[in-house]
Amino acid sequence: MTRRRWIADESTATHAALTGDHADHLVRVLRARVGQDFDIATGTSLRRGRITSITGNRVEFELAEEIPVADAILITLLLAIFKFDRMEWAIEKCTELGVTRIIPVIARRTDSHLAAASKKRVERWQRIARQASEQSRRTSPPEIADPIKLADALNLPAALKIVLSESENQTQLREALNRDAVALKSEIILAIGPEGGWTEDELISFDHAAWTSASLGNTVLRAETAAIAATAIVVSTLS
């Protein structure tokens, strides 16, 4: 039987702990007991952990042997801010698929009220990403960065930077990945536009900053669908 995986709130060389709501979920919902074994991600390794004590909102583990972990594909998702309920769904699912960093971006068509409220949502997005990471047996959650303006994101360093565009009619995303072998071992950035897509001047800015333009097909996708589909294509192509 596959062991449930947890990301430790505290850890040393030999012990780890879950605290607060994190521990409460393990005890109250999953009925954890002293002596049970779980996989524990400590931030530096993945270890087998056995529960040694349960006290209040704290669960302590004794750490045993290290468990091998496959190398992750470095995928940064530049996600233009859109309606929070759908954006949260995209963050959850893209975390399950394996993105390593999500950067919320304020684009030209980002609703001004959402842009103003976005900084206060980062903690919630981080919590969603952490829960999705444990559910999908990741060893660490993706970094959820503070929101930035698109102009500040254009020159982020990466071996391959791809902007998904509805107006692109020459290059499909998979083709862009397959023709750039350097991406196989380096970080990839995917830029997903807001509701209504990128504006023409934003696409020109991407082009001037040497981004590759690519399409997900002939249909027009919602922002959250595009984010999930693009991530899945990258993972399946480069795995």
pLDDT band at residue 201 using 50, 70 and 90 as cut-offs: very high
Domain boundary among 38, 66, 94: 66
218-239 per-position pLDDT tens digit: 888 999 999 999 999 999 888 7
Predicted local distance difference test score (pLDDT) of residue 182: 53
* Together in a domain, 118 and 9: no
Q: How far apart are the first and last CA of the chain?
A: 25
pLDDT of 152 over the 80 cut: yes
Name the token pair of 215.
């399409």
The partner residues of 60 in beta bridges, in order of sequence, read 17, 53
Given 34, 66, 98, the domain boundary residue is: 66
User: Do 32 and 114 sit in the same domain of this protein?
Assistant: no
What pLDDT, on the 0 to 100 scale, is given for residue 150? Answer: 97
**Predicted local confidence at residue 183, as pLDDT:** 54
Does residue 29 sit in the same domain as residue 121?
no
Structural domain total, the chain = 2
Give me the CATH number covering residue 49: 2.40.240.20
User: What number of other Cβ atoms are within 10 A of residue 227's Cβ?
Assistant: 30
| Pair of tokens at residue 139 | 């060893």
Q: What is the structure's pLDDT at 24?
A: 87
Domain housing 185: 75-238
Domain boundary pick from 39, 66, 93: 66
Looking at residue 1, its pLDDT comes to 54
Residue 81 CA to residue 72 CA, distance in Å, equals: 26
CA distance to 18, 153, 180, 190, per residue, from 102 (Å): 25, 12, 22, 10
Outline where 26-157 has alpha helix (H). Answer: 84-97, 112-117, 122-135, 150-153
Q: Are residues 82 and 55 in the same domain?
A: no
Regarding whether 216 and 141 lie in a shared domain, the answer is yes
**Does one domain contain both 62 and 110?**
no
Report pLDDT digits (tens) over 83-140: 999 999 999 999 999 999 999 999 999 999 999 999 999 999 999 999 999 999 898 8
| DSSP states of 171-190 | -BHHHHHHT-GGGGGS-EEE
Q: What Cα–Cα distance (Å) separates residue 137 from each residue in 25, 54, 89, 188, 204?
A: 16, 23, 18, 22, 39
Distance between CA atoms of 127 and 142, rounded to whole angstroms?
11
Assess whether pLDDT exceeds 80 at residue 180.
Answer: no
For residues 197 and 95, membership in a common domain is answered with: yes
